[in-house]
């Protein structure tokens, strides 16, 4: 890299970003002008001098990834200047309904946004996933003379992101994994919403990242020292065995009358301040959204460079294809986002004659069957591998080779006890492309990662949670580990498929739909304890999210259930039948998938005519949507051998038969026709 | 502190703990023997030589607090040896239903347990709250010659807890706050469930804690070096300006054939291994649950010392009362857990003539009114003070005096952007006693703290979340910040009162019930936008959790709603009335509180006879419990000015009137009597 001499045009461009930030936030009358104004120099140097991407094809696979962890208007301004599909009018629509420029950047919504940011700590953590993905693709596909996958992941982050625990988890793991392709620029502006960071954040951030095993650099005058920024990024790129964090001392809202205070953090600049800012930078004070031609010119050079880079890369890829046709075929298939044809045929199928097994074990059997067919699968667990059963025969760990424990071609990640970072990293892995991450922990501890799970769903990242030990059925660990509220939480989250399979075929169905759902994350809620294979379950039926597992004509009662309780409910139905009460049983492994079926199908499964009782060993909240009566946990679980815990809470065939009879009597006595809970006026 | 010479009796006691751990876990055939066996020496030294507590009165206020962050059987064994209300039979009932010894220690369940642990990272983080509480009480009440509150908080923690982000957040804040009363012993045994920590956790923990501003000590042979452990704890106690972490190198499962491997982490030792262990330690191999008399003797000396300490402290407190009667009265009141008499009379009362205000502002008004009356209130925010409106006139920050920003007598904590630690620290503050913590963030980011919220509820800690910006009403920040699933999650959690007040009186009611609920946490879901004060709301009515805010006899429709949507629903009802459709409106600010009312009252509020429609600008999940039809958000929110976002989603008086009419027609056409959704066979 040649030495760097900033030009007048560079200063002009930097100030363009600053004044644009003031205008964008000012017009919206909402947003965060301070960080864009402070980080304009770093953004300018990074994007004009280092960033390898083709704005005209934001999906070019070997592009550098950029993550603005403290997601704000800066990214939109850059996307516009760089020539992504984001016009000046889009900037003027900042924070307006239906615009490409919502309050914080959303992946899948705006061209050029890699991962959703704004919720603090998520961006930098997902960036670790982006960096892992690059390292993995390079290890698998690069060959002598074919340095095909060699992009960097750049992150801008602020104090807020670094205070969040999720970023600590991710940074510790990134250091462990020696991700030399990850470069973080830390906007050390000493200001957060509450004011000076002296009030709450006085740790030595540099020393902390050194402790994680990172390279730590710093630039003392981030407001002006473009050459210093340039040199730091260049040095970061040279370090191949460690991630780098560059501490950049900046002035938040640089140029504003309120620069350096939290007054410019989250509120628009006043009109006179914007005018004064423009005057200070020799910009026309009466013009808004003004971009000098010289600035567009500098950025258009980036576009030319990017198009050229991609063209050369495409040539390289073609040559690679001639020399390594198999690898080429696999790589291009993965880039396309299609899974290998025919993988579905390897899903295990069961009959009632097959032995009872825990659904976590059934999940392991699926993974063992499909993993050799789908190299896109990257597994892992938050230190519960032997419990989640996420690591199968043939797996190699993703580790730096110096550890002797694996290498970067490995497809199993040891996340450590870091659920939240695991979720965020998985978002990054999915966002990179060509990877379907699955990640394991106890269902109860998916809640630790709620912030990341939400962004999987909002961003449409195909992340699969292998969430085992999913109820009181985990037994002895007791209430601290037994989920109660967890599935209500995730069932209420848009664009997540929660699956709670009852047996082998249903577990296969869960994976079938989860692996086909390219823009929807899934949570597979799996039992610790053994479950019998059901008469009447098939992959096809279960793939509808809900189906009749035991039919009775002219029923007195339908019981709807899922997961480990379905076999118990079938026992109850059998006992009720002996008493002359005809009881249908519906298995509803996935509410959201069932909701997507045709109305007539849904009404045939949960039909009118007899009361419907739901049974699940969790909170009953939400089951009212599918049933008239609900049985489940009223409060916390209990510590003990699981069979005894089930007995304690009355979730047994015998007790449910008593409950069922009570319900049948109640509705008979009422003497009113019983209408399906799905037969409603309003369907949102 | 005199120099320390370990006796034969000490070694015997240490090995007693080890063999007991093997027996306790062995009998339960479930649990974690390794950590207790490794940490037995540290536990023995701490409890016999340093720990100031009276096992016969586990609630003595100035007791040292002990937190076993990696919650396991070790704590039960110690409680038994120390003479707390935990018999040998209780140890034999480890992990059995209804026992005092569930899988992981639960506060409020077992005598002597300060905070619930097991879910990793929570214990050490809550301990920061315990330490803050001590520092605060000392600053407020200690006087020259009356060092009344001077206890330490001791924590044992393992690798798992230190990998969790929540502990990083809490440790950073503890360093910032210079909590010299906090002493953490880190069980550095190099093993987690997945095996050697070399696979995922290779950061330099000592350097990281130095970066946080902690004192860092270490003991290289934690298996044998009792004197070294003693000296380290003594040194930690001397450091008054920094928390201390002592890295103790131990062998997990010391004495087992599998010592030093993850084989002893989470599974019982085999019978022959237990026998060999006992033989190795010269214990009778055929005896189980064996405690030598010498060991009971050492621990009974602790009881004598503790009783003596408390007696002397009681004398000191009495003398303090004679010299400082006011402070004494306040302190003893706080210790008793009673709030000052008559505080309720300061709750603001509103009429419809009062101006519309945001419920976050109404919350601030309550806090400003009651804060001077209730010194027990310790406020704070995760860096959103100006948005949450949690800091009121007269507040001083809780800071180390050297910062110049406050002192330890301050009652407002700057938590930084650390929601999860904030939740866990608040649990510690509540667990200490005499403190009612309230903590602020956006509702959407309470989810970051889900792990801690769950333990508030499970442990019965009175923690109040001031959760503002509670819907699409936050407007411009958009989908990344607009909660959808959040309240379904917490409404499904046992023992949490979620409040979503509609106006001033309802906000006062929420505080009234939350402040009276000594063993239930509350989440106050508050609007960013202004809300009118309703005709017909009163504190008394809202305190029931639900009430008729607009009555109509012979109604065609009831609409049930809460929070910012109630006034919109009232507008819809008015429009419907103009069309001849009589519409009652029910405000349901707290489901759980409403659920606790008399059946007849509930059935009178949500009565049979006409369809009930629910309206909330969140996921509809769960509203089926209280309504026949539901209107809300189907998916994510949208970024824009809030009024436009409401319009976009059809949550307006006009559109809801259309929806309401459709529902009335639908049920008329159906021609079946409409029964209240609360009229059911099963009431869990």
| DSSP assignment of B121-141 | THHHHHHHHHHHHHHHHHHHH
Separation CA B166–CA A168 (nearest Å): 9
Q: Is the pLDDT of residue A81 over 80?
A: yes
Min distance B580 CA to chain A CA atoms (Å): 20
pLDDT of residue B145: 97
Whether B416 and B516 share a structural domain: yes
What are B525's strand-pairing partners?
Answer: B467
Residue B220 counted as domain residue: yes
Whether A116 and A256 share a structural domain: yes
Whether B34 and B102 share a structural domain: yes
Interface of A with B in 218-277 (CB under 8 A): none
pLDDT of residue B645: 98
Interface of B with A in 461-480 (CB under 8 A): 475-480
Q: Looking at chain B, how many residues does it have?
A: 684
Whether B519 and B631 share a structural domain: no
Whether A461 and A599 share a structural domain: no
Q: Which residues of B are known catalytic residues?
A: 419
Separation CA B682–CA A557 (nearest Å): 14
Residue with tokens 């021609």: B671
Please enumerate in sequence order all residues whose Cβ is within 8 A of that of A162, keeping only pairs 6 or more positions apart, or say none: A124, A186, A201, A205
CA-based torsion, A67, A70, A73, A78: positive or negative: negative
Q: Is the pLDDT of residue A597 over 70?
A: yes
Average pLDDT over residues A493-516: 98
What confidence category does residue A72 fall into, taking pLDDT thresholds of 50, 70 and 90?
confident
Residue B680 counted as domain residue: no
Whether B118 and B48 share a structural domain: yes
What confidence category does residue B480 fall into, taking pLDDT thresholds of 50, 70 and 90?
very high
Q: Residue A300 is inside which H or E element, if any? A: helix A293-323
Min distance B236 CA to chain A CA atoms (Å): 20
Q: Is the pLDDT of residue A266 over 80?
A: yes
Residue B541 counted as domain residue: no
Interface of B with A in 516-575 (CB under 8 A): none
Instruction: Say if A30 is an interface residue toward chain B (CB within 8 Å).
Output: yes
Backbone angles phi, psi at B101, to 5 degrees: -125, 65
Tell me the chain A residues in contact with residue B211 when contact means C-beta distances shorter than 8 Å: 203-208, 210-211
Q: With an 8 Å Cβ cutoff, are B414 and A622 in contact?
A: no
Instruction: Say if B216 is an interface residue toward chain A (CB within 8 Å).
Output: no
Q: With an 8 Å Cβ cutoff, are B495 and A200 in contact?
A: no
For chain A, the domain total comes to 3
Instruction: Say if A353 is an interface residue toward chain B (CB within 8 Å).
Output: no
Q: With an 8 Å Cβ cutoff, are B495 and A635 in contact?
A: yes
pLDDT of residue B1: 46
Q: With an 8 Å Cβ cutoff, are A203 and B475 in contact?
A: no
Which of A308, A333, A352 is a domain's end point?
Answer: A308
Q: With an 8 Å Cβ cutoff, are B490 and A485 in contact?
A: yes
DSSP B596-650: TS-HHHHHHHS-TTS-EEEEEEEE-TTGGGT-SEEEEESS----S-HHHHHHHTT
Q: With an 8 Å Cβ cutoff, are A622 and B488 in contact?
A: yes
* B662: number of Cβ within 10 Å: 14
* B527: number of Cβ within 10 Å: 29
Instruction: Say if B491 is an interface residue toward chain A (CB within 8 Å).
Output: yes
Min distance B463 CA to chain A CA atoms (Å): 18
Average pLDDT over residues B578-582: 97
pLDDT of residue A1: 45
More confident residue, A5 or A261: A261
Interface of B with A in 577-596 (CB under 8 A): none
Q: Are A35 and A160 in contact (CB under 8 A)?
A: no
pLDDT of residue A684: 85
Which of B496, B531, B566 is a domain's end point?
Answer: B531
Min distance A257 CA to chain B CA atoms (Å): 21
Q: What is the CA radius of gyration of chain A?
A: 28
Instruction: Say if B18 is an interface residue toward chain A (CB within 8 Å).
Output: no
pLDDT of residue B627: 98
Q: With an 8 Å Cβ cutoff, are A203 and B97 in contact?
A: no
Q: Residue A307 is inside which H or E element, if any? A: helix A293-323
Percent of chain B with pLDDT over 90: 97
Half-sphere exposure of B485 (CA within 13 A, CB side): 28
Instruction: Say if B423 is an interface residue toward chain A (CB within 8 Å).
Output: no
Taking only the tens place, the pLDDT of each residue in B64-115 is: 999 999 878 999 999 999 999 999 999 999 999 999 999 999 999 999 999 9
Whether B93 and B174 share a structural domain: yes
Q: Is the pLDDT of residue B5 over 80?
A: no
pLDDT of residue B532: 98
Q: What value does the mean pLDDT of chain B take?
A: 97
Residue B538 counted as domain residue: no
Which of A480, A528, A608, A624 to mutate: most B Cβ within 10 Å?
A: A480
Average pLDDT over residues A235-243: 98
Average pLDDT over residues A322-331: 98
Q: Is the pLDDT of residue B349 over 60?
A: yes
Which ipTM did the prediction report?
Answer: 0.98
Separation CA A655–CA A652 (nearest Å): 5
Q: How far is CA B291 from the centre of its chain?
A: 35
What stretches of A357-500 adopt beta strand conformation (E)? Answer: 357-358, 377-381, 412-414, 436-442, 464-468, 497-499
Tell me the chain B residues in contact with residue A493 when contact means C-beta distances shorter than 8 Å: 484-485, 619
Tell me the chain A residues in contact with residue B216 when contact means C-beta distances shorter than 8 Å: none
Min distance B474 CA to chain A CA atoms (Å): 11
Whether A549 and A506 share a structural domain: no
Q: Are A36 and A287 in contact (CB under 8 A)?
A: no
Encoded tokens for A192: 């957060």
Q: How far is CA B235 from the centre of its chain?
A: 31
- In B67-95, which positions are buried (b, 16+ CB within 10 angstroms) versus exposed (e)? bbbbbbbbbbbbbbbbbbebeeebbbbbb
Taking only the tens place, the pLDDT of each residue in B126-150 is: 999 999 999 999 999 999 999 999 9
Tell me the chain A residues in contact with residue B636 when contact means C-beta distances shorter than 8 Å: 458, 494-495
DSSP-based three-state secondary structure for A602:
helix
Which of B281, B308, B335 is a domain's end point?
Answer: B308
Q: Is B125 left (phi over 0), alpha (psi -120 to 50) or beta?
A: alpha
Which of A165, A167, A481 minimises the CB distance to B103?
Answer: A481
Interface of B with A in 60-89 (CB under 8 A): 71
Please enumerate in sequence order all residues whose Cβ is within 8 A of that of B302, keeping only pairs 6 or more positions apart, or say none: B47, B48, B51, B55, B82, B83
Residue B634 counted as domain residue: yes
Nearest to B561 by CA among B615, B626, B503, B487: B615
* DSSP at A399: -
Nearest to B75 by CA among B53, B98, B106: B106
Instruction: Say if B163 is an interface residue toward chain A (CB within 8 Å).
Output: yes
Instruction: Say if B98 is an interface residue toward chain A (CB within 8 Å).
Output: yes
Which of B489, B632, B646, B674 to mutate: most A Cβ within 10 Å?
A: B489
Which of B213, B476, B481 minimises the CB distance to A203?
Answer: B213
* A471: number of Cβ within 10 Å: 32
Backbone angles phi, psi at A183, to 5 degrees: -130, 115
Domain enclosing residue B385, as ranges: 343-531
Whether A183 and A236 share a structural domain: yes
Encoded tokens for B83: 């003479």
Please enumerate in sequence order all residues whose Cβ is within 8 A of that of B538, keeping only pairs 6 or more positions apart, or say none: B505
Instruction: Say if A387 is an interface residue toward chain B (CB within 8 Å).
Output: yes
CATH number of the domain encompassing residue A555 = 3.40.50.920
Which of A25, A68, A164, A468 to mutate: most B Cβ within 10 Å?
A: A164
Q: Are A497 and A470 in contact (CB under 8 A)?
A: no
Residue B224 counted as domain residue: yes
Average pLDDT over residues A134-159: 98
Separation CA B132–CA B126 (nearest Å): 10
What are B468's strand-pairing partners?
Answer: B442
Q: Which of A310, A419, A506, A629 is catalytic?
A: A419
Which of A159, A168, A192, A395 to mutate: most B Cβ within 10 Å?
A: A168
Residue A540 counted as domain residue: no
Average pLDDT over residues B40-45: 97
Q: Is the pLDDT of residue A2 over 70?
A: no
Whether B561 and B526 share a structural domain: no
DSSP-based three-state secondary structure for B88:
helix
Q: Is the pLDDT of residue B4 over 90?
A: no
Residue B568 counted as domain residue: yes
Whether B502 and B556 share a structural domain: no
Q: With an 8 Å Cβ cutoff, are B164 and A165 in contact?
A: yes
Residue with tokens 């189980």: B288
Half-sphere exposure of A46 (CA within 13 A, CB side): 27
Whether B300 and B399 share a structural domain: no
Q: Are A523 and A497 in contact (CB under 8 A)?
A: yes
CATH number of the domain encompassing residue A192 = 3.40.50.970
Q: Is the pLDDT of residue B2 over 60?
A: no
Which of A31, A193, A613 minimises the CB distance to B383?
Answer: A193
């Amino acid at each position: 890299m040649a030495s760097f001499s900033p030009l007048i045009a560079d200063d002009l461009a930097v100030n363009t970003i600053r004044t644009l930030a003031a205008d964008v936030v000012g017009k919206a009358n909402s947003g965060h002008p301070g960080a864009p104004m402070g980080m304009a120099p770093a953004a300018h140097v990074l994007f004009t001098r280092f960033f390898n991407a083709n704005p005209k094809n934001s999906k070019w696979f070997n592009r550098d990834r950029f993550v603005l962890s403290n997601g704000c208007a800066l990214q939109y301004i850059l996307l516009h200047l760089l020539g992504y599909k984001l016009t000046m009018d889009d900037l003027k629509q900042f924070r307006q309904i239906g615009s490409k420029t919502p309050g914080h950047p959303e992946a899948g919504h705006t061209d050029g946004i890699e991962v959703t940011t704004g919720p603090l700590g998520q961006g930098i953590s997902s960036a670790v996933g982006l960096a892992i993905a690059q390292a993995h693709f390079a290890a698998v596909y690069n060959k002598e003379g074919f340095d095909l996958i060699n992009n960097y992941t750049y992150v801008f982050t602020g104090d807020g992101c670094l205070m969040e625990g999720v970023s600590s988890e991710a940074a510790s793991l990134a250091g462990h994994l020696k991700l030399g392709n990850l470069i973080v620029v830390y906007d050390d502006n000493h200001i957060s919403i509450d004011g000076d960071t002296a009030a709450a954040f006085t740790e030595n951030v540099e020393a902390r990242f050194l402790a994680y095993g990172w390279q730590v650099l710093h630039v003392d005058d981030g407001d002006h020292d473009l050459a210093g920024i340039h040199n730091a990024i260049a040095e970061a790129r040279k370090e191949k065995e460690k991630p780098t964090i560059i501490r950049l001392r900046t002035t938040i809202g640089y140029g504003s009358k309120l620069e350096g205070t939290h007054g410019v953090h989250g509120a628009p600049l006043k009109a006179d301040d914007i005018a004064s800012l423009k005057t200070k930078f020799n910009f026309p004070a009466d013009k808004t959204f003004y971009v000098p031609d010289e600035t567009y010119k500098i950025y258009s050079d980036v576009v030319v460079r990017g198009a050229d880079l991609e063209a050369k890369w495409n040539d390289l890829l073609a040559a690679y294809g001639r020399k390594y046709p198999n690898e080429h075929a696999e790589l291009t298939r993965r880039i396309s986002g299609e899974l290998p044809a025919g993988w579905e045929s390897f899903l295990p199928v069961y009959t009632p004659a097959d032995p009872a097994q825990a659904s976590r074990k059934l999940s392991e059997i699926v993974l063992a069957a499909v993993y050799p067919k789908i190299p896109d699968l990257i597994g892992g667990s938050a230190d519960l591998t032997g419990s989640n059963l996420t690591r199968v025969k043939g797996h190699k760990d993703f580790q730096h080779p110096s550890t002797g424990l694996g290498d970067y071609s490995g497809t199993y990640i040891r996340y450590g006890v870091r659920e939240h970072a695991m979720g965020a990293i998985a978002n990054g892995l999915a966002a990179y492309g060509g990877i379907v991450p699955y990640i394991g922990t106890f269902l109860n501890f998916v809640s630790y990662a709620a912030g990341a799970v939400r962004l999987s769903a909002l961003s449409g990242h195909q992340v699969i949670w292998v969430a085992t030990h999913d109820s009181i059925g985990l037994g002895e660990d007791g209430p601290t580990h037994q989920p109660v509220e967890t599935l209500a939480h995730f069932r209420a989250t848009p664009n997540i498929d929660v699956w709670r399979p009852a047996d082998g075929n249903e577990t296969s169905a869960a994976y079938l739909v989860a692996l086909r759902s390219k823009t929807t994350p899934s949570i597979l809620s799996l039992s610790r304890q053994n479950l019998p294979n059901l008469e009447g379950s098939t992959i096809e039926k279960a793939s509808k999210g809900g189906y009749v597992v035991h039919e009775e004509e002219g029923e007195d009662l339908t019981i709807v259930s899922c997961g480990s309780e379905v076999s118990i409910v079938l026992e109850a139905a059998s006992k009720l039948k002996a008493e002359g009460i005809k009881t249908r049983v519906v298995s509803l492994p996935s509410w959201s998938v069932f909701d997507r079926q045709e109305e007539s199908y849904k009404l045939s499964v949960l039909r009118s005519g007899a009361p419907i009782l739901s049974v699940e060993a969790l909170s009953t909240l939400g089951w009212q949507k599918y049933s008239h009566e609900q049985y489940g946990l009223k409060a916390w679980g209990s510590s003990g051998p699981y069979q005894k815990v089930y007995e304690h809470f009355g979730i047994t065939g015998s007790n449910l038969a008593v409950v069922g009879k009570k319900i049948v009597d109640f509705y008979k006595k009422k003497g009113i026709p019983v209408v399906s809970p799905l037969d409603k006026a309003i369907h949102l």
